Amino acid sequence: MWYAVMVGFGYDVHRLVEGERLVIGGVMLPSLKGAVAYSDGDVLLHALCDALLGAACLGDIGEHFPDSDPTYRGISSRVLVERVVALLQQHGYRIVNVDATVVLQQPRIAPYREAMRQTIATLCQIPVERVSVKATTPEHLGFVGREEGVAAFCVCEIQPAS
Ligand code: MG
């Protein structure tokens, strides 16, 4: 093949309300507010799924896991990533690296960052040294700053396995 790597990008947003769980990067965070979603609302793993699918030009998360399908109600987003990784493997790709940024006003992500990195590394079957999770607060600006939502961006590289 003529290319060495293919780059993918993913972005996701979830609304936050009181009384829901806040799961980010496969890790449950202590928070009064959590994500409103059909699945567990893991904004980071959803952005990761879209980055991986985008790199392989295999559509997007909504196409593969439609919220009209009751199978995906309350499903752990870890399962969604596992299925996306398996799909990429079927198409002959392996993952090179992942770099993600979570945008959240509170709580702070830092104490949970290593657990998120390890979860993503395990799911993507790559060393943790090739997984980056960063976080930023929006300084109380916009919907994330008002704690109405959480957002995540993710880029990844994949390459042909052979
Ligand atoms: Mg989502």
Mean pLDDT along residues 50-65? 96
pLDDT band at 1 (very low <50, low <70, confident <90, very high): low
pLDDT band at 72 (very low <50, low <70, confident <90, very high): confident
Pairwise CA distance, residues 86 & 148, whole Å: 34
How remote is the CA of residue 162 from the centroid of ligand 1, in Å?
A: 32
How remote is the CA of residue 31 from the centroid of ligand 1, in Å?
A: 18
So what's the pLDDT on residue 73?
Answer: 83
* Residues 6 or more apart whose Cβ sits within 8 Å of residue 45: 25, 26, 77, 78, 80, 81, 120, 123
So what's the pLDDT on residue 17?
Answer: 96
So what's the pLDDT on residue 2?
Answer: 59
What is the signed CA dihedral for 54, 41, 113, 32, rounded to 10 degrees? 160
* CATH annotation of 6-160: 3.30.1330.50
Q: Does residue 142 surpass a pLDDT of 60? A: yes
Q: Does residue 161 surpass a pLDDT of 90? A: no
Tell me, what amino acid is at 88? L
CA atoms 88, 91, 96, 98: torsion sign: negative
How remote is the CA of residue 74 from the centroid of ligand 1, in Å?
A: 12
* Residues 6 or more apart whose Cβ sits within 8 Å of residue 19: 34
pLDDT band at 85 (very low <50, low <70, confident <90, very high): very high
How remote is the CA of residue 94 from the centroid of ligand 1, in Å?
A: 23
So what's the pLDDT on residue 71?
Answer: 83
